[in-house]
Amino acid sequence: MARFRFRFDASQRLADQLLDVAKREFAQEMQRLQVCIEARVTQLGRFNDALEGQRNAGLHSPEKLAIWQTYVFEQRRRLKEREAEKSAQEVMMEKARCRLIEAHREAEKFRRLKEKQFKAFQIKELIKEQKVLDETGQILHWQQKKYSTKC
């Protein structure tokens, strides 16, 4: 019996490798986004603490108010930086997601094509096998008929 060979085996392996790379890239971008989110949450906490310190300074020690205002300003600036980093990372993650989806489509296309060609190959092999069985049956039939007419 003949063996099935997929003509696009090399292309399928390449598509699978690209899919693995895209998965790793996406996972890295996802981790970076998580780090950005955590940094933003931490910075938001610092900013809120600074606002609370400014309020307390305004109520209890006005001489320290200018220092607290400077500190709040700096914490607000850092918070905006963290938000910008998070937004930029979301864009990067979305690009990685698109690459992952495209790589998955490409790999899936080759898998389906291979499956379809394998089914067609099996059908052809079954047809060949059936022809051999039919021919064998005819030969046996003619041989039995030949021997039965001699007796």
**pLDDT of 38-90, one tens digit each?**
999 999 999 999 999 999 999 999 899 999 999 999 999 999 999 999 999 99
Judge contact between 103 and 19, C-beta under 8 A: yes
Q: Which of 75, 77, 81 is nearest to 51 (CA)?
A: 75
Provide the token pair at 5: 């060979």
Provide the token pair at 66: 């200018």
Residue 113's contacts (CB-CB under 8 Å, 6 or more residues apart) are: 8
Q: Kindly state the percentage of the chain with pLDDT values over 90.
A: 80
Predicted confidence at residue 150, as pLDDT, reads 67
Predicted confidence at residue 49, as pLDDT, reads 96
Higher-confidence residue of 148 and 60: namely: 60
pTM of the model: 0.75
Question: Which amino acid does the sequence have at 66?
Answer: A
Predicted confidence at residue 2, as pLDDT, reads 80
Cα–Cα distance measured from residue 76 to residue 68, given in angstroms and rounded to the nearest whole number: 12
Task: Tell me the pLDDT band of 151, cut-offs 50, 70 and 90.
Answer: low
